[in-house]
Amino acid sequence: MKSKTHVTIYDLAKELDVSPSTISRALRGHSSISEDKIKIITKLAKKRNYIPNDIAANLRQNKSNNIGVITTWINRNFHAQIISGVEEEASSQGMNVIILQSHDRYKDEVQNAQALLNSRVSGLIVSLAMETRNYDHFLPFFKNRIPVVFADRVPSELNSHKVLIDNVKVAYVATKHLIDQGYRHIAHLSGQRHRENYRDRILGYTKALKEHGINVNKNFIYELKTKSGDEAIQAIQELLSLPIPPDAVFCTNDTMAVSIIQYCKKAGIHVPGQLAVMGFNNDPITTIIEPNLTSVFNPGFEMGKQAAKLLLDHNRLKWTDKNFTTIKLGTELMIRESTIKIN
Amino acid sequence: MKSKTHVTIYDLAKELDVSPSTISRALRGHSSISEDKIKIITKLAKKRNYIPNDIAANLRQNKSNNIGVITTWINRNFHAQIISGVEEEASSQGMNVIILQSHDRYKDEVQNAQALLNSRVSGLIVSLAMETRNYDHFLPFFKNRIPVVFADRVPSELNSHKVLIDNVKVAYVATKHLIDQGYRHIAHLSGQRHRENYRDRILGYTKALKEHGINVNKNFIYELKTKSGDEAIQAIQELLSLPIPPDAVFCTNDTMAVSIIQYCKKAGIHVPGQLAVMGFNNDPITTIIEPNLTSVFNPGFEMGKQAAKLLLDHNRLKWTDKNFTTIKLGTELMIRESTIKIN
DNA sequence: AGAATAAACGCAATCGATTGCGTAATTTTT
DNA sequence: AAAAATTACGCAATCGATTGCGTTTATTCT
């Protein structure tokens, strides 16, 4: 017995003595095939365990039913939320999601883009790596009319679809909250300034300070590479040993904020008594740490969903290349104990 | 100007007046092509922005360079760890990862399997949905010699590759720890028993009790559907209102354990004084909640990595269908404050 | 009834790369 | 120098589904 390969439409065609075209059309419910034949054909297809070969169909149609996602780290809560949203929207529209991680490295991001290009994804969703400063690896997508949607980590230098939050505004609101609580020496642990997100947050932060007559102390702004807890602890130690230490710190993610609170506990520094701590993203840990962490709700899941929707719309409606959309999603300041001034 | 489609090997062949075969071979560094031509061809390919079409290559070779992953929820830490591991190993071997979520629903899992079958993934990694009791949707993979590796949530009823932990043993160790600390009324919040993981953990739990002369109280075992924090709080409330309430609870994930601790704090129940709480997975939240949560380190990342490795090995080495491997990964009991008996 | 229209398919090219087999040119062997 | 062995390619089929166009048969119209 020869080990047979997969059953194809040709096999079905031969068995029913019709043409492969008819099989193909019948299985897709084409109107030019009689109800009668459709029933017979679908029945046989089931009986023979026919599995449609998407690869062949995709080749013929010059497209694929996968969309690519390049994220930084799948296992970080905020990014997992984005991916989850993308997957949900995509699969509801019959699309599969291919996920690659850049680990915040430029080199990996370029390589990922290459791989997704070769696999002919019908669209790309990207959250930029921290390192990335050059965007040429996305150009082939534009040239080949493959829509690219940037989510959260977007490039200000590139004209494309984008889904993000108003980082300037929300950083302003967050900082203002600290000021309103009476804090005057507010530090900011940010990401590297070339990444728009962090530049904007720094902007919002400085804007709030200036508006309230607080002069901006450059030594109070840290541009961190990994934004890890360890990096944050290192930073806060330096800050607290300054002649005039901060009485509040605005962290650009919750991991850093939580690490700082934990450090403070060990060091006997009272939060928020001696140091108010504000996070970002509103990870689940914000309501677990004590004191509960004030943070900014960052709608990752919705962001992923919207990005996927934008992508799929782009393809369905065959938008022109110049018709780029930017979606700004709402955020919310989640005020909790870690920033409430105690009298 | 006609809008051109992608550049193909035929275009390159025409321009250099050689055959497409030569282009194909040259670009893959085939030994039968002269160094000279290889250089010329790769140079032109770069110049013309040639993008290899993986779809065409895959069709010809009857395979794809993606592996499929069916997980329950991407945005749950443990599962995100698995996926992250899969992605890292896969992409290091030039493979892409297609991810679909079942949301713990049988129906979605079947649908996902179908989609991945059609897209001709070269392998499948699955973490079973809680609901799943029937495994026929995986049969087509076996029939078509597509390797399936189950990770963490494995089916005892099916013979296949598996990567998991020793749930019986680790549940035994965890329960024994509680007993050793002096707790005698130990409840267990588990998942549904038909899922092997949870059945095994219940087994380990009861084994430890019996071995120490503690009789097993069926009312102390909850088989929860979603294993959410809310479900856990509901359960602990019932348990604590029993005539003889538990003095310890072993939760099958950390989310439940943390919710219970938070509930206890509000209700004025001292942990571990009045109720010891043990979690599972060793999520980051274990070291954030106070008291810190005793838990079981569950090597998700490594699990994903091993699963991917197994899959790729299977394909590379062309194993027979009967040559199934089961990998059991080590775990570790992470003892923290939430279970330390106070005298 | 003859013509026009619609319904229900079949033919064959096509998508882009891969590959077994064949061949001409060049080099090595005896 | 003739034979054998390499080297360096080309030819054409192939993977499996899709689709524009053409054809046959059945139905409707006048």
Q: What is the pLDDT of residues A71-89, one digit of tens each?
A: 999 999 999 999 999 999 9
Rounded, the Å distance between the CA of A31 and C1' of C8 is 10
Per-residue pLDDT, B1 = 31
- Interface contact flag, B55 A53, Cβ < 8 Å: no
Rounded, the Å distance between the CA of A118 and C1' of C25 is 36
- Interface contact flag, A87 B101, Cβ < 8 Å: yes
Q: What is the pLDDT of residues B172-195, one digit of tens each?
A: 999 999 999 999 999 999 999 999
Question: Is strand C in 7 Å reach of the CB of A55?
Answer: no
Round to whole Å and give the CA distance between A171 and B281.
34
Q: Which residue ranges have CB below 7 A from strand D?
A: A 5-6, 8-10, 20-21, 24-25, 27-28, 50-53, 56-57, 59-61; B 17-22, 32-34, 36-37, 56, 59-60, 62
Rounded, the Å distance between the CA of A117 and C1' of D18 is 23
Q: What is the pLDDT of residues A326-340, one digit of tens each?
A: 999 999 999 999 999
Helices (H), B217-288: 229-240, 254-267
State how beta strands A248-251 and A186-191 pair: parallel
State how beta strands B148-151 and B161-165 pair: parallel
- Interface contact flag, A96 B115, Cβ < 8 Å: yes
Residue A245's Cβ-count burial label (10 Å; 0-12, 13-18, 19+) is middle
The contacts of residue A4 (CB under 8 Å, 6+ apart) are: none
Q: Is the pLDDT of residue A129 over 50?
A: yes
From chain B residues 131-170, the ones with a CB under 8 A of any chain A CB are 140, 143-144
Strand partners, B297: B281, B332
Q: Is the pLDDT of residue A204 over 70?
A: yes
Write the residue in A51, A91, A100 that is nearest to B100 by C-beta.
A91
When pLDDT is averaged across residues B215-242 and rounded to a whole number, the result is 97
Q: What is the pLDDT of residues B9-47, one digit of tens each?
A: 999 999 999 999 999 999 999 988 999 999 999 999 999
3-state secondary structure (DSSP) of residue B151: strand
Per-residue pLDDT, A285 = 97
Round to whole Å and give the CA distance between B141 and B124.
8
Q: Is the pLDDT of residue B2 over 60?
A: no
Please give the share of chain A, as a percent, with pLDDT higher than 90: 93
CB B139 within 8 A of CB B160: no
Residue B321 touches partner A, C-beta closer than 8 Å: no
Q: Is the pLDDT of residue A1 over 60?
A: no
Assign A209 a pLDDT band (cuts: 50, 70, 90): very high
Nearest one of A65, A21, B116 to A9, comparing CA atoms: A21
Assign B321 a pLDDT band (cuts: 50, 70, 90): low
Q: What is the pLDDT of residues A268-294, one digit of tens each?
A: 999 999 999 999 999 999 999 999 999
From chain B residues 50-109, the ones with a CB under 8 A of any chain A CB are 51-56, 58-59, 62, 64-66, 73-75, 77, 80-81, 83-84, 87-88, 91, 94, 96-101
Q: What is the pLDDT of residues B248-264, one digit of tens each?
A: 999 999 999 999 999 99
Please give the share of chain B, as a percent, with pLDDT higher than 90: 93
Assign B317 a pLDDT band (cuts: 50, 70, 90): confident
DSSP string across A133-163: ---GGGHHHHHTT--EEEESS--TTS-SEEE
DSSP string across A242-299: SSS--SEEEESSHHHHHHHHHHHHHHT--TTTT-EEE-SB--GGGGTSSSPPBEEE--
* Chain D bases near protein CB atoms (7 A cut-off): 7-12, 14-20
Per-residue pLDDT, A2 = 35
Q: What is the mean pLDDT of chain B?
A: 95
Which tokens hold the place of A104? 């915040």
Q: What is the pLDDT of residues B115-163, one digit of tens each?
A: 999 999 999 999 999 999 999 999 999 999 999 999 999 999 999 999 9
Q: Is B275 left (phi over 0), alpha (psi -120 to 50) or beta?
A: beta
Nearest nucleotide from residue A30 CA, by C1' atom: C8
Assign B4 a pLDDT band (cuts: 50, 70, 90): low
